[in-house]
Amino acid sequence: MHYKRLLALIDSVSSHLSVGLDVGADFTWMSIALPNGSFTGKPFKIVHSDPGSRDLAVAKIKEAQETYSLKSRCFLESTGIYHIPLLCFLRDKGFDCSVINPIITKNSTNINIRKLHNDKFDSKKAALVGLNVSL
């Protein structure tokens, strides 16, 4: 009986970095959350038309993986068709990626007391949604 409880407890703890990506037409904001819900740094802006910007985003994710000895999972908010090129790029680089409905992101966290809405904040919310072990 204790063994089953221990397994359930282990399964309930997130053991990955969660990369939240709020995708727009021209750029994307990226935030990286640790399993405890804190963030590795400030949100990073990825400019879609700049290959260097995309490569720097990949480098930031890999640096966080090495620093914290954790694998990462990327969560992109579905934004029309705008998320598709970035999704394919990240998958080609070997990252585990999922597309999430923006309604889930909006309704999932209660960290927005003052009704703040901006893309940086949305990338943080997407990262926090990604820490949910049921995803």
pLDDT the model gives residue 3: 47
Q: What is the pLDDT of residue 109?
A: 53
Rounded Cα gap, residues 51 and 2, in angstroms: 51
105-121 pLDDT, tens digit per residue, is 776 655 555 555 677 88
The residue among 91, 92, 127 whose CA lies nearest residue 109 is 127
Residue 120 confidence (pLDDT) = 82
Quick: pLDDT tens for 42-96: 999 999 999 999 999 999 999 999 999 999 999 999 888 999 999 999 999 999 9
Predicted local confidence at residue 4, as pLDDT:
56
Provide, for the chain, the percentages of residues in helix, strand and coil under a 3-state DSSP scheme, each rounded to the nearest 5. 45, 20, 35
pLDDT tens for residues 25-43? 999 999 999 999 999 999 9
- Region of 47 on the Ramachandran plot (φ > 0 left; ψ -120 to 50 alpha; else beta): beta
* Stated pTM of the model: 0.83
- Which of 18, 16, 46, 34 lies closest to 119 in space, CA to CA? 46
Domain boundaries, the chain: 15-130
The pLDDT, as a whole number, for residue 7 is 45
Other beta carbons less than 10 A from residue 50's beta carbon:
12
Whether the Cβ atoms of residue 122 and residue 29 lie closer than 8 Å to each other: yes
Candidate CATH numbers 2.40.30.10, 2.30.40.10, 3.30.460.20, 3.30.420.40; the one for domain 15-130? 3.30.420.40
